[in-house]
Amino acid sequence: MKTMVTAIVIPILCLYFYYITKKEMREQDAKWLSIGKVPEEAIVSGEIVSISIEKEKYYYHRYVYNQHIILQTKTGNIHLIKKQPAKQKMSELTFQKQERITAFGTWENRKFLVNRIQHDRVSPGMPVQ
């Protein structure tokens, strides 16, 4: 009798944990794909002082590219972070140091999370106003 109960319960438990794991993986994949989408609640603009990119582990075999940009504005320096899921190799950056940009995103603590970046129509090297 005990072996019959065990023969029924163990496969049911295995299927249950398999289902839970698959469900969690789907949820994490959806979060990973939407990681770079932040609400555009604020706008900052200025001249790029420095740019760096790092690859960070997100969840098991999923990674995220973080672009760190220091932006010189009228009031001082602002640290921008643009996050992107690492689906393939990071695309080439379309902006360089001393270029003026406008970033749209939201504030988190003292850092600005970026949804999108737009080039300003001012040539590089012009003073920040």
* Assigned token pair, 105: 């995103």
For residue 122, pLDDT beyond 80: no
What pLDDT, on a 0 to 100 scale, did the predictor assign at position 127? Answer: 47
23 CB burial (10 A radius; 0-12, 13-18, 19+): exposed
Residues 28, 24: Cα–Cα separation, whole Å: 6
Q: Give pTM, 2 decimals.
A: 0.75
pLDDT one-digit tens code per residue, 84-103? 898 877 666 677 888 899 99
